[in-house]
Amino acid sequence: MNLINGKIVDDTAAWQIESDLYPRICETLSKPKLDVNTVISACDEFVSGLTFDQYAALFEQLGITREAAEAYILRGKNEFGKEALCERLSRELGENRENIHPLGVLLHIAAGNADGLPVFSVLEGLLTGNINLLKLPSAVDVVTIPLLLRLFEIAPCLAEYVYVFDFSSKEITKTESLIQYADGVIVWGGDAAVSAFRRTVPPNVKLIEWGHKVSFAYVSKAVQEEELPLLAEHIAKTDGLLCSSCQGVYVDTEDLASAADFCERFLPYLSKCAAEKSYGVGITAHRTLYLENERLEGNRIWRGENCGITLRPDTALDSGAGFCCIWVKALPKEQILPVLKPYRNRLQTVGLLCPPERREELAELLFTAGATSVTHGDMSQSTLAHDGEYSLRRYVRICTM
């Protein structure tokens, strides 16, 4: 489905509209700047009235449990309420914003690895007063249009600032036709996607990259037992699909036997959380084949209910298999910088589980290696920046007269 100025249209109608998109954009740009207070009020009203029952069918379609859905709703209320948004604008753009103007038109190339990410990206564009052209991810997206329609019910004036196009990433000419209208192209994706747009976006259009990152946990041998369930819950909740999802665990030791002890300690917690998940035949088969392949390669594995842990002898930063399958490796504190520094542009979140007296020292090493966020067990908690940057600053210009 495509969404043009608040109306759902089919593909044919969407691309008929695209042919006169430039006059539409110019008409909107000729009006007074979008009042940020209108956007804030609409977001606040939207999240204030958000309930599980309101979108129960949608959560069920996404395979999200009521408990997880309630957590998402609470997070939305915390991040998109009036107080939070006003604080964010002040933090990222300052109190005096008279000289700050939107870039103009943003083209959002959304990734499909996180439900709601396209809406989140568009909301950032609206907060900075931009017109937003959104290309939906190739994966089926059942979230974006219903949420945007609800926002437009609250504030109809926002509809003319949002155009949603649903077409395959293989249709390059359609993407290129949208780029010609953009002042900035926002790309959420991996290396291949980012590299493709670096070749496609012309020099006079700002390219804003939010690439795929790798996140992991770093665990001291002296970690307290009560910290492990939270990490297990995070792994099961995110299934390894987010940039902030734990792909694996480094243990602060030189000894593989000590790393194996961690695997023994952690498996019951991971298995308990994963047992509450419901996976289809395809994912179950993927996990079984992955773990068997790890065993055949000589790695030691631990199997649990809907989950698996692989102990590997190397220290390379790898992506995980996802769906409650993680790797564990030994990495003593002294090797953090030599091992992780080459991955500095790929690191994102580190779940640091250690005694309080060691936290500052280890966090500083991880930041120096390239991590942009050091958290506790819940690695997908809200952060103040994307990949170590304040995003709103990249969506505006400073103009003087």
**pLDDT over 90 (residue 306):** yes
Residues in the chain: 401
Distances (CA, A) of 366 to 146, 221, 339, 391: 40, 17, 11, 22
Q: Which residues contact 16 (CB under 8 A, 6 or more apart)?
A: none
Cβ pair 263, 311 in contact under 8 A = yes
The whole-angstrom separation of Cα 302 and Cα 331 is: 20
**pLDDT over 70 (residue 323):** yes
Read off the pLDDT of each residue in 172-176 and give the average, rounded to a whole number.
89
Token pair recorded at residue 321: 């298999």
The whole-angstrom separation of Cα 66 and Cα 64 is: 7
Q: Which residues contact 67 (CB under 8 A, 6 or more apart)?
A: none
Tell me the pTM.
0.79
The whole-angstrom separation of Cα 174 and Cα 196 is: 15
Banded model confidence at residue 278, pLDDT cuts 50, 70, 90: confident
- In this prediction, residue 388 carries a pLDDT of 64
Q: Residue 140 half-sphere exposure, CB side, CA atoms within 13 Å?
A: 4
Domain locations in the chain? Answer: 2-212, 214-375
Token pair recorded at residue 293: 């392949």
Pick the CATH number of 214-375 from 3.30.420.40, 3.30.565.10, 3.40.309.10, 3.40.50.620: 3.40.309.10
- When mean pLDDT is compared across 8-22, 84-98, 333-347, the lowest value belongs to 8-22
Banded model confidence at residue 386, pLDDT cuts 50, 70, 90: low
Token pair recorded at residue 342: 């080459």
The whole-angstrom separation of Cα 141 and Cα 130 is: 23
The architecture CATH gives domain 2-212: 3-Layer(aba) Sandwich (3.40)
Token pair recorded at residue 115: 């439900």
Token look-up 């907060």 returns 127
CA nearest to 278, candidates 74, 53, 62, 75: 62
- In this prediction, residue 30 carries a pLDDT of 95
Edge-first strand listing for the sheet containing 246-251: 300-304, 307-311, 325-330, 246-251, 214-219, 347-353, 373-375
| 209 compared with 251, residue with greater pLDDT | 251
**Interval 44-56: pLDDT, tens:** 999 998 888 888 8
- In this prediction, residue 383 carries a pLDDT of 53
Token look-up 């089919």 returns 10
* Continuous segment of H or E residues that includes residue 126: helix 117-127
**pLDDT over 70 (residue 23):** yes
